Amino acid sequence: MNVVAVTDEAGAVVDAALLAAAEPVHRQLRPHLPADYRRRMEEVFAGGAEMAVAVREGRVLGVTVFRVLEKTFTGRELYCDDLVTDEAHRSGGAGRAMIAYMERLGRERGCDVLALDSGCQRQQAHKFYFREGLV
């Protein structure tokens, strides 16, 4: 399992093919995204977000969208907007690989914490997050 950047640190798309391949997986979490997925994601990236994908054998199995925030409460925070693994490939290591990727980036960028929010209805996701040490 490899985690590959779709954007650079400035939010510029560095791999358009991976952005396109990420769309069906990302829509499993965010089905409300508009039809022009690329344009919307470029707007999100322009606001400071980045994207990476978990890939195995050329197939996107997971998507993470994240950003670095400066906050008075937590300090420098790598905040994960979205973390989703293809429902057909859950428990295969993609989620763990993406969390490890974000933790590494957070350390490299001097972040104090890795944070995310998750809807209370997402019980299976919460079990995974707790197993990975997120609270």
- pLDDT value of position 119: 55
DSSP notation for 24-66: HHHHHH-TTS-S-HHHHHHHHHHTT-EEEEEEETTEEEEEEEE
Enter the pTM of the model.
0.88
- pLDDT value of position 40: 98
User: Which of these, 103, 124, 123, lies nearest to 115 by C-alpha position?
Assistant: 103
User: Which of these, 83, 73, 92, lies nearest to 51 by C-alpha position?
Assistant: 83
Contact by Cβ (8 Å): 36, 44: no
- pLDDT value of position 127: 60
> Within the chain, which residues score under 70 in pLDDT?
117-135
Q: Could you give the CA distance from residue 83 to residue 104 in angstroms, rounded to a whole number?
A: 16
Q: Which two tokens stand for residue 127?
A: 């079990």
